[in-house]
Structure formats: C-alpha cells, structure tokens
Structure 1
Amino acid sequence: MVFSVTILGSNSALPTSERYPTAQLLNVAERFYLIDCGEGTQMQLRRNKIKFTKINHIFISHLHGDHLFGLMGLISTLGLMGRQADLHLFAHVDLERLYRPHLDYFCADLPFKVVFHAIDPHQWLIIHEDDKVMVTSVPLRHRIATCGFLFTEKIGLPNIRKSCIEQYELSIAEIVKIKNGADLRLDDGTIVPNDDLIVRSHLPRSYAFCSDTKYIPSLGEKLKGIDLLYHEATFTDAEKDLAKKTGHSTARQAAMVAKQAEVGKLIIGHFSSRYKQTDVYLEQAREVFPLTEIAGEGCVFEVAVKPGIF
C-alpha cells in the first residue's frame, strides 16, 4: 500500500526558474492530501501527472503568500473542471475571512463546497481523521502563527492467530474484543497479552511536515520515531543569525531535530533564493544526520511497509 510524499515546490519566498514555493502531496493508498499550496502548485500537479480530483483535503501551515498563493487558482481550476465533491481546507481561522470575498467574487458559481476548518496552530490537536490517516497539528515558531502537520497512517484491525482461536476456544465476542485491543482473561485468572493473540498486517507509517519555524530544541522529542520528516532549512550556517531573526532554521538545525527524533529519513527544503545550488545545505545537514535528502521538485519519497508484530 502506497505511503509517499511528492515534492511540488521547495523554495522560500520567491519562485525561481528551477524551484517553486512550498507545496507537497501525501499519497496514502491513493488518497491524496495537499500540504501548502504555493504559487504554481497546479502546474506542478500537472507535471507530476497527479489527478486534481483526488485531492479532497488541503492543509495550509500559515498565511504567508509563498505557502498559499496557488490556492485561489487551484480552486478556480477545480470549478472549471466540474468538480462535485466538497473541498476541505484546514488552516488558521483567518484564511476563511480572507478567502470568502475572493470566492464570492471570482468563484460564485462553484459546483462544489469549499469547507473551511479552523485550526489552532498553538496546540497539538487531532484536526482530521478518516479511515486512512490521522492528522495532528504541530505548533511551530515563526513570525506569524504557524503549525506543521503529523500524518499517521491508520491500519485495519489485526487478525487473531488461528492457533489461539483453537487453543482458547474463543467466542465471537472475545474475538471482537481482542481485535480492538483487549487482553484475554482465562478462567484461572491468567492474562494472555493482546500482542500474543494477534497478527498485524503492518505497523502504521508516519510523516511530519514542519513548515517555517525557528529551531525548536524540544521538537525532536515530540516527533520521536517517525518514519519521514520534512523540516524547513531556509539558510546555511553562514546565515544562522539571520535564520533566528526571521523565524527560520538552518540545514544543520533541521538535522539536529531529526537526530533527536531518531527519524527514518529527513527531507530539507524551503531554500533561500540566494542559493542556486543546494549542495551546501545537504553537506551541512548530513554532518549531523546522514540520512538527509533534498526536497527537489518532482522527488517522491516512499515509506516502505514495516512488518507487523508476530
């Protein structure tokens, strides 16, 4: 089952001839979640052959233009394509206040509803949940209210070991309880742990998107053990003071978060336009966390299925 991230844009502030502003697409079993929507996002979706109609949920980390200037155009295009399904937008409450007048003026005849979901960027909260994924807001520290997003895969209920069904002569009611996490209590009072009774298809996979933020030393503990981490890395060591002043991180600081969190892989992006090449970012990050990659346009990062508990 697919669990992958496609990079649509990796630059900060300004689009360049080679890098677009921030936008990413998470694919969980062919259900698509758009994360930020910088200028040119719909062009990048076309270049990467991604069907617009599969995007039902869009998550906006904060209300700076390089993270949402592509949103209005994308909504308009979806209307021209005849979309019928509701489009759900998750963002700071001000997004609806800013966008309603534009929607009323430019897209008054949309054939679908744009549903705004206000999120509190200062709290760790579950902001969306469906049968494929659970999304949690990740408070960050930028010049304006900003949050990242933690996507955790949801997997089906485990199977009961056939040998256990026979050995303990399990009833249907007991099987249902065990599938939902219960231990088994035998007549003599012995407790059989749930993990000894079940077989999981695979362990849930996870992806954290950490948008514009200062270096947060405690963030690594909060994201402990996730499979894939994207962390902004606007500057290199040479601009460490500028990073702090503008509410951004360096490549090395992003790597420090990844190292503390013991993530499976780190992706860095949101590069300053002053750098035409990203080699220096990668070099400095890998000095701290070797499993680092550049968020290059069109790159796809897959998280492999992790074997279940047997």
Structure 2
Amino acid sequence: MFGVTILGNNSAIPTLDRHPTAQIVTCNDQLLLIDCGEGTQLQFAKYGIRRSKLRYIFISHLHGDHYFGLIGLLNTLSLMGRTEPLSIFAPPELEQIIQIQLDCAGTILKFELTFVPLMPEYSGVILEDKDLEVRCFPTQHRISCFGFSVLLQKRKRKLLPDQAKAYEIPAAYYGKLQEGADYVRKDGSIVKNDWVTMSPGKGKRYVYCADTLYDENLLPYLKDADLMYHETTYLHELADRAAERFHSTTVQAATLAATAHVKRLLIGHFSSKYKELDQFLEESRPVFPNTDIAAEGTTFIV
C-alpha cells in the first residue's frame, strides 16, 4: 500500500477541530511521518496509527506548528518500550533543540535516534530503503524550508518463468535475473536479461510542498506527480497577505498543479481565521478539478 493519512491540516494556531500539520505516509510495511505539529501523538491514537511501524520522520522547517509535537512523540515511543532505531531528517538546528529538551528532563531514550541534517538550498536524494526513495527540495518561506518527494517503486525486475525455462536457466539464478543480471550459458552464449524479465513498471510518487510562496521554480520537483500536497493558507482574495507571510492561496496551488500536470492535488495548512473549508474547493477546482481538502483522518491512496 502507498497512501497518505492526514493527521493535521491547520496552520499556526490549532482549533478545536483542526490540528497543526502532520501526515503519515504508508509505504508498504513502513510508516513515514512528515511534520509533527502539536498533538500529533494524540492523532496517532485517534486514527489507529501503529507507532511501531514508524521508521522515518521528516520535518520541513522549524516553525512551531510543524514540529512542536515531536518531543512528546519521542518521549512516548521511549516510554512504550521502543528499541528500534528512528531517523529524523530536518534542519540541523533541530538536533540541538531536541537534545536540550532531553537533557533538561534527564531523559535517555531507549532507542537510537539519528539526525540527518537538511542543508539550505539542497535538493536531491536523502533516503533509499528497499523500494522507497525520498528526495528533498527547497521551498520559498521566511526561514529555510523543504518539500519532500516520496517515490515507491519496485526495484526488482519481473521474471518471465516460461522464457527462463526455455533458455534452461536454473531456478537458483532467478534472483539475479530479477536484479538485472544477464545469464551466461555453459556454451558461453549470453541470455540477455530483457529476454527473460520485464521492467517492474513506473513507480508512484507523492510530493509534499511545505510552507511556501507561489513559486514556479518548484515545477520540476512537482512534474507528473501522482499526488501532490500544497499549502493553501488563504483564499485568493488575500493573495497580498499570503505573499507578505510567504504563503500561498487556493488559486496559486491549483495553478501549480495544473502546470505541473500532477494527477491529484491535496490542499491544507488552512488559516485559523476560516471556520468552513468548502470555499477552498470552490476556488481551487475551477483551476484544477481534481483537488481535495486534506481532511483529517482521511487516507488518500497514491
């Protein structure tokens, strides 16, 4: 399974029914957490997210609504007896922030915590694990901020058993065929890999655009994504305010989605000034019809 579960979709100040930004990305048997706003661990419990499956945490930037829930989550994982390592990908200052909190409380986590620093303006691969690849890219915000591209793709080629048998390739060699190797027969002739296997096919990609101005420089990172999340802090009548605060509007997010030819758009990071969210769709869908609200508790399949 490859899906995105929304745990929080609000910006800055939480409301009684909307929480700061947090998302769980399910990649087969692994869970990735993208951002960890205040109260995220309570959302884990509310929506039945299995903490034990959490492997990686990605923090886009160090505004509080994107990481104030992290120390509580880490402490709970330790109290619950977690021993499996956990990796956090984040701006480098976060490591010191977390360590100070742990030191002040005299807390020693029961699991290994690894920090991978995200350096300003860096873009590229930050994680490869089995069929999973994660890249980061800079967005345009008041402080250093990153988006994330999550690609899930089978790396092993698909074996064609009948063809392999026809070329008298022993079954013990099938694993190497799936890894892309050719086969050398006893007479020295070579059986090309693509004679007996097929490409695993195109993978699926989810792109998370964290807090950002409207920025067409993001288009190469968004292009042809199967699912894209983009912040829409404000309705478009407040485009000037959005620009002043390094945020985006409904129409701007939808315009990027249409220009980048993504298949589906999720919008979130709503200002607390808005009580109802239907108007966000009313503005977005005329520009990009396949737009949905990143509703809390909803899982979107990539």
- Give the TM-score of the pair, scaled to structure 2: 0.90
Q: Which residue of 1 aligns with 2:113?
A: 114
Aligned 8 A contact 1:159 1:200 in 2:
yes
CA distance in 2, matches of 1:58, 1:286: 31
Q: Does 2:212 match 1:217?
A: no
Amino acid at match of 2:6: I
The answer on 1:33 being equivalent to 2:27 is no
RMSD: 2.6
**Cα pair 1:121 1:138 within 8 Å, conserved:** no
Query: Alignment length, in residue pairs?
Result: 300
**Cα distance in 1 between the residues matched to 2:63 and 2:28:** 30
Partner Cα separation in structure 2 for residue 247 and residue 156 of structure 1 = 38
5 Å matches for 1:58-207? 58-106=57-105, 108-165=107-164, 179-181=178-180, 194=194, 197-200=196-199, 202-207=201-206
CA contact (8 A) 1:140 1:148 kept: yes
For 1:141 and 1:100, the matched residues in 2 are separated by 28
| Shift, 1:18, TM fit | 1.0
Asked if the contact 1:138/1:210 (under 8 Å) is kept, the reply is no
Per-residue Cα deviation, 1:12-36 (whole angstroms, up to 9, x for no partner): 0000011000000001113100000
- Residue 131 of structure 2 contacts residue 155 of structure 2 at CA under 8 Å; is this kept in 1? no
SS of alignment partner, residue 44 of structure 1: helix
Q: 1:181 Cα shift?
A: 4.8
CA contact (8 A) 1:76 1:107 kept: no
Partner of 1:20: 19
SS in 2 for 1:283: helix
Distance in structure 1 (CA, Å) of the matches to 2:274 and 2:86: 36
What SS is found at the alignment partner of 1:218? helix
State the shift of 1:159 in Å: 2.3
Residue 107 of structure 1 and its aligned partner are, at CA, apart by 5.1
Give the equivalent residue in structure 1 for 2:10. Answer: 11
User: For each residue in 1:85-138, what CA deviation from the matched residue of structure 2 results, as whole angstroms up to 9, or x when unmatched?
Assistant: 122111001111222111122252321122111112412121111113111002
Please, which runs of 5 or more residues in structure 1 have no aligned partner?
Answer: 185-190, 304-310
- Aligned identity (percent) is 42
Name the CA distance, whole Å, in 2 between partners of 1:149 and 1:107: 33
Contact 1:124/1:139, CA 8 A, preserved across alignment = yes
Contact persistence 1:123–1:139 (CA under 8 A): yes
Give the Å deviation of 1:246. Answer: 0.7
| Equivalent pair of 2:177/2:193 in contact (CA under 8 Å) | no
Aligned to 1:235: 234
Cα distance in structure 1, aligned partners of 2:116 and 2:106: 19
Give the gaps of 5 or more residues in structure 2: 184-190
Secondary structure at the aligned position of 2:216 is classed as: coil
Q: Distance in 2 between matches of 1:284 and 1:302?
A: 24
Shift of 1:177: 7.2
Following superposition, the deviation at residue 218 of structure 1 comes to: 2.9
- Deviations, residues 185-206 of structure 1 (Å, cap 9, x unaligned): xxxxxx9894x75334553111
Aligned runs of 1:277-292 on 2, under 5 Å?
A: 277-292=276-291
Structure 1 residue identity aligned to 2:131: K
- For 1:253, the equivalent position in structure 2 comes to 252
Q: Distance in 1 between matches of 2:52 and 2:166?
A: 49
Taking structure 1 as reference, are residues 243 and 108 closer, same or farther at Cα in structure 2, changes over 3 Å only?
A: same
SS at match of 1:282: helix
Q: Contact 1:32/1:57 (CA < 8 Å) preserved in 2?
A: yes
Q: Deviations over 1:131-187 (max 9, x none)?
A: 131110021000000001101013141123345436666689997776445799xxx
State the AA in 2 paired with 1:22.
Answer: T
Write the distance in 2 (CA, Å) between the matches of 1:51 and 1:225: 31
> Helix, strand or coil for the counterpart of 1:258?
helix
Contact 1:79 1:112 in 2 (8 A): yes
Distance 1:116 1:157 in 2: 30
Of residues 130-139 and 219-228 in structure 1, the stretch that sits farther from structure 2 once superposed is 219-228
Equivalent-residue separation in structure 1 for 2:172 and 2:139 (angstroms): 45
Q: Counterpart of 1:308?
A: none
* 2-structure distance, mates of 1:147, 1:55: 21
Structure 2 counterpart of 1:306: none
User: Which has the larger displacement, 127-136 or 19-28?
Assistant: 127-136
Partner letter of residue 104 of structure 2? Y
Question: Which range is displaced more, 19-28 or 82-91?
Answer: 82-91
